[in-house]
A and B are shown apart, each in its own frame.
Chain A
């Protein structure tokens, strides 16, 4: 059984929670409050992850820390070929978006943590960086749609690339970054929300069910 160390309001934890639910992998949850009490800095948690960061999973003794490595671990173990690409170009593309998600966390996510009163940051710099990344992602998805693709990778099934980026995009407005200039990103968010076993976190709303003929 997987033990999942998470915070209800952390977007990186949300990415992992989404995949756990979409794969229907059972787990037990351990709440580590990041703000304001900083329970992640307690020795009890540092013993599990010396970096004192969330998320962390413990899969019967295999401890993995960080959203991207956990997504890779879970998808490669439970859903190779769908959630996790295995052919050469797709593997590189997944890695590209996992890296991009980290950069989103450092800009969009930093702005959110700042505006929530959790951790101060250089807000103008965070916004400038966020705009650059969100514009790029929006353009990528617009051209994907042009080619009949719904997801970040040109695959019929979504991948962990989508789940890694989604939390940052869907929570960006909490960092004072409007999604209004990014229509392709807004449509992609609707598609992610319609995936089976999707679940919300605070700050995320459901969308309407798809049109049935």
Chain B
């Protein structure tokens, strides 16, 4: 049984754009088989043994096995009309949801896992950045994250030091804000919304919400799928598959401060699903 916090969350179960209208579909959430139908006109239904609450937001269908205590987090940029917004990928990965989220928050793997795209040796240093856990907004925030990238996005012709902000407004969802190469006053937004299929299996849905007037959707999708496809085998070779919350379980360094804050935040929330709780 999932812990109450996890049970009462909104969870993504599918991208609307990839769901045929009017035909019941099946998926699994928190070990529970779910049937859902997209009816069009921004309306969907979902059921397990009984009807479930449903929300359509950011192009995805969300549901909950419990009683959601809060509304879904806000992404104000999603409403800006000049952005390209779509689901870039929905990929199954044999790993826990918090491991997938933690990977998304990590810059130091860029030169090794996304070589030539999001990083390249010898530019491996992770400079000092700021992390805060906001009790009021109930989220983890990392700011001033700077990293040299050879090809930061599909709209970029050359390498640049890119500045990131990471937001974790939901235990299984994270959002990244990245300086836009088109308009330096605004930021590209990329979200990862992880659907916990079981404690050790997920479907990761990736939202892009970017300023890119040069590339077609296919090019942006291919870029994001390549990047995520590179993370997948790393995640599947990580042990244990559940995220250990005991601070002594693995060996973090300064570059991992956001991961330390994330693990602490999960602990404080009393989450036990997909993690190894601290003793």
Please list the residues of chain A having a beta carbon within 8 angstroms of any beta carbon in chain B: 8-9, 31, 33, 36-37, 39, 115-117, 173-174, 176, 201-205
Residues of A with C-beta under 8 A to B230: 202-203
Tell which of A8, A36, A117 touches B226, judged by Cβ atoms closer than 8 Å: A8
Tell which of B203, B219, B222, B236 touches A173, judged by Cβ atoms closer than 8 Å: B236
**Given A9-B225, A9-B229, A174-B236, list of 7 further CB < 8 A pairs?**
A31-B221, A115-B92, A176-B94, A202-B225, A202-B229, A202-B233, A203-B229
Contact B203 A8 (CB under 8 A): no
For this complex, 27 residue pairs linking A to B, each with C-beta atoms less than 8 Å apart, are A8-B225, A8-B226, A9-B225, A31-B218, A31-B221, A33-B218, A33-B222, A36-B15, A36-B18, A36-B90, A39-B218, A115-B92, A117-B91, A173-B233, A173-B236, A174-B232, A174-B233, A201-B229, A202-B225, A202-B227, A202-B229, A202-B230, A202-B233, A203-B229, A203-B230, A203-B233, A204-B233
Give the interface centre of A33, A37, A202, A205 by most chain B CB atoms within 10 Å.
A202
In chain B, what residue has the closest Cβ to A203?
B233
Residues of A with C-beta under 8 A to B91: 116-117
Give the interface centre of A117, A174, A176, A203 by most chain B CB atoms within 10 Å.
A117
The CA of A205 and the CA of B233, in the complex, are separated in Å by 9
Contact B221 A33 (CB under 8 A): yes
CB distance from B117 to the nearest CB of A (A): 11
Could you tell me which residues of chain B, from 207 to 228, have a CB within 8 Å of some CB in chain A?
218-219, 221-222, 225-228
The CA of A19 and the CA of B18, in the complex, are separated in Å by 33
Contact B229 A37 (CB under 8 A): no
Residues of B with C-beta under 8 A to A202: 225-230, 232-233
In chain B, what residue has the closest Cβ to A6?
B222
Residues of B with C-beta under 8 A to A205: 233
CB distance from A136 to the nearest CB of B (A): 25
Could you tell me which residues of chain B, from 1 to 53, have a CB within 8 Å of some CB in chain A?
15, 18
In chain B, what residue has the closest Cβ to A116?
B92
Contact A115 B94 (CB under 8 A): yes
Give the interface centre of A8, A36, A39 by most chain B CB atoms within 10 Å.
A36
CB distance from B232 to the nearest CB of A (A): 6
Contact B229 A31 (CB under 8 A): no
- Return the 8 tightest CB-CB contacts between A and B, nearest first: A202-B229, A117-B92, A36-B18, A31-B218, A202-B230, A31-B222, A203-B233, A8-B222
In chain A, what residue has the closest Cβ to B216?
A31
Given contacts A37-B18, A202-B232, contact A117 B225 (CB under 8 A): no
The CA of A116 and the CA of B229, in the complex, are separated in Å by 10
The CA of A116 and the CA of B197, in the complex, are separated in Å by 13
In chain A, what residue has the closest Cβ to B92?
A117
CB distance from A189 to the nearest CB of B (A): 13
The CA of A203 and the CA of B229, in the complex, are separated in Å by 6
In chain B, what residue has the closest Cβ to A118?
B92
In chain A, what residue has the closest Cβ to B93?
A116
Contact A117 B203 (CB under 8 A): yes
The CA of A174 and the CA of B236, in the complex, are separated in Å by 8
CB distance from B104 to the nearest CB of A (A): 16
Contact B219 A31 (CB under 8 A): yes
Residues of B with C-beta under 8 A to A33: 218, 221-222
Contact B218 A8 (CB under 8 A): no
In chain A, what residue has the closest Cβ to B19?
A36
Residues of A with C-beta under 8 A to B218: 31, 33, 39
CB distance from A202 to the nearest CB of B (A): 2
The CA of A203 and the CA of B92, in the complex, are separated in Å by 13
Could you tell me which residues of chain B, from 117 to 175, have a CB within 8 Å of some CB in chain A?
none
In chain A, what residue has the closest Cβ to B232?
A203
CB distance from A72 to the nearest CB of B (A): 27
CB distance from B241 to the nearest CB of A (A): 13
In chain B, what residue has the closest Cβ to A30?
B218
Residues of A with C-beta under 8 A to B229: 8-9, 201-203
Residues of B with C-beta under 8 A to A201: 229
Contact B233 A117 (CB under 8 A): no
The CA of A8 and the CA of B88, in the complex, are separated in Å by 13
In chain A, what residue has the closest Cβ to B234?
A205
